[in-house]
Amino acid sequence: MTDSNSILTLKDYGSITFHFKELMDAKDISRSKLSKLANVRFEVADKWYNGEIERMDMDILARVCFVLDCEISDVMTFEK
């Protein structure tokens, strides 16, 4: 395949950086508190806090943004 936009071509696609830790620290919301308020397991809140997200559940993302009173762009950025 010769299409330069193909995912089959090895290239740098950029990266997504998470900012949950900074936002949670600024709002003084612990992982334990986030897990209770967003109704997620502590392990999930811990992974999000540490930026160790492998797959994102959109419902959880909506709940976390609601709890943190933020926009999606406040908690993640895409860098080319």
Q: Answer with the residue of higher pLDDT: 12 or 36.
A: 36
Whether 44 is covered by a domain: the verdict is yes
Question: Does the pLDDT value for residue 4 go beyond 90?
Answer: no
Q: What is the pLDDT of residues 20-50, one digit of tens each?
A: 999 999 999 999 999 999 999 999 999 999 9
* C-alpha neighbours within 13 Å on the C-beta side of residue 74: 17
Domain holding 59: CATH number? Answer: 1.10.260.40
Domain span holding position 75: 20-79
Q: Work out the pLDDT band at 13, boundaries 50, 70, 90.
A: confident
Q: Name residues whose C-beta falls within 8 Å of residue 52's C-beta, 6 or more positions apart in sequence.
A: none
Whether 9 is covered by a domain: the verdict is no
In the chain, how many domains are there?
Answer: 1
Whether 40 is covered by a domain: the verdict is yes
- On whether the pTM is more than 0.85, the answer is no
